[in-house]
Structure 1
Amino acid sequence: MSQSTASRPPDVKSAPAPWTLTGDAYIAMLELPERVLREQSFIPEALRSRFEGRYSLLMAIDYTSSDVGPYRELLFIPGRFKTRRGLLWSISKIYVNSWDSVVNGQRNWGIPKEHADLEIVREADGSERLRALQGGEVFADVRFAPAGPSLPAGTALLPARWRGLVHHRDGSDLLCWPTARGSVRLARLLEARVDPARMPPLDERRVVFAARLSGFRAEFPVADVEPPGPG
């Protein structure tokens, strides 16, 4: 099922934070070689000296509703970064199939969203594939499969330091602490093929764990704007 969008941004209406979003997602925590993380994961210069490596996150998300309508998302987080509030995650590559999400995501939280067409294919074996395309060319193809029973879960079980995000824009850090609740079950990351010019290479990945989130409801609050953290 493909949700195609325009090739250039139309006029985009402002949708300020906070946002409420619902949907389904796959999340994989990965270990990647240090050279990949530091040299090929698209860390912005403003955050490069503050990078703390080891664990990365790959997410494929199908938002069924949001403050800018339904859209899909593929993102990569190389790890956590030093801030004045401690170590926080930061998205270095993210593609969405909604210009409203691109523009407002950059404006509200400094998230470096880029536009792509995203399609989800549900395979006969029960796995799900998300493909990202630009100009009709597939540059990322990830496939997950759920496994095991579903259990209720929420970010209330996580300390704030494990769910905070930091992004950098116009000389400032933008920090926020999203929350979410829904059903979670284990999953497997079966394939991850990408163009390394547009996504960090994942060939040498080790999957620490993967999960499927179903019917979640997430809240993205207004960002705190602060001077850059320690370098």
Structure 2
Amino acid sequence: MNTFDNQPTSHFAAPWKLKGEGFILVYRFTKNFVYESGFLREDQLGNFKEGFGYVMLVNYEESPVGPYRELLFIPGKFGPENKQSITKIYVDSDASTENGRFNWGIPKETVPFIWNKESNVTTVGVGSEENPIWFSKIRTGSIPLPVSTKILPIHLLQHLNDQKYLTKPEGKGWGKLAKLEKVHIDPLGFPDISQLKPLMCVHVNPFWMSFPLPKLV
């Protein structure tokens, strides 16, 4: 039994199957940016190994805890394990936060979200309307392409409450190239990528994802 975070009153054990839509922004973050703005744990300082980094905005339409939205930051890989880590993540569901922390050691925090779509432009707000952590407008293009974790694999090593969790989520779906047209970020709440240009932005809709049982290491 996992005793490293309080078991949720409504516990939904791994594996999880999820379905929804989302935006994947792909970057190559510098060490300076990650160390200064990446919300790293103390043990991650000095251990950043670069690689592809991601910002993801996700609208889960189906999950074991019901629909919810999510914003997350993955800087890249860290040594010596050479695995990725989610260093900042928000959702708008307490059940998702509690189960995510308990099942996989993902440091979720619960805040309000706004997710509106008009034609091919999606507006996402995270946090309070008066002082949002994140506010963006993303325009979806028309060129379809398959998206899969086989192309951009994710191997997560999360460290929470003195326990390490190794998880390899798998996902697939259909995406279209997109463009981040406007973004405002509170750097006290999320890494400020507003002055950085992503290598790629993809709107994946729909996608299917599986979060398996983690390996405790």
TM-score of the pair, normalised by structure 1: 0.84
The alpha carbon displacement at 1:67 in A equals 0.9
Once structures 1 and 2 are overlaid, which stretch shifts more, 210-219 or 129-138? 129-138
**In the TM superposition, what are the counterparts of 1:1-231 in structure 2 within 5 Å?**
12-53=9-50, 55-84=52-81, 87-123=82-118, 126-134=120-128, 137-158=131-152, 162-226=153-217
The alpha carbon displacement at 1:150 in A equals 1.9
Q: CA RMSD in A?
A: 1.9
SS at 1:102's partner residue? helix
Tell me which stretches of 4 or more aligned residues in structure 1 moved more than 4 Å: none
CA deviation string 1:39-84 (max 9, x = no partner):
1110112333422236421111000010111100011111111254
Cα distance in structure 1, aligned partners of 2:200 and 2:93? 29
User: Is the 8 Å Cα contact of residues 20 and 220 (structure 1) preserved in structure 2?
Assistant: yes
> What is the match of residue 3 of structure 2?
none
SS at 2:193's partner residue? coil
Cα distance in structure 2, aligned partners of 1:135 and 1:46? 34
The alpha carbon displacement at 1:134 in A equals 3.7
User: Is the 8 Å Cα contact of residues 57 and 70 (structure 2) preserved in structure 1?
Assistant: yes
The alpha carbon displacement at 1:33 in A equals 4.5
CA deviation string 1:105-153 (max 9, x = no partner):
01111111001101112245x2111100148532211221111322344
* Identity percentage of aligned residues: 30
C-alpha distance 197-150 of structure 1, shift in aligned 2 (>3 A): same
Cα distance in structure 2, aligned partners of 1:132 and 1:194? 9
Which structure 1 residue ranges, 5 or more long, are not aligned?
1-10, 227-231
> What is the match of residue 3 of structure 1?
none
C-alpha distance 135-157 of structure 1, shift in aligned 2 (>3 A): closer
Which structure 2 residue ranges, 5 or more long, are not aligned?
1-7
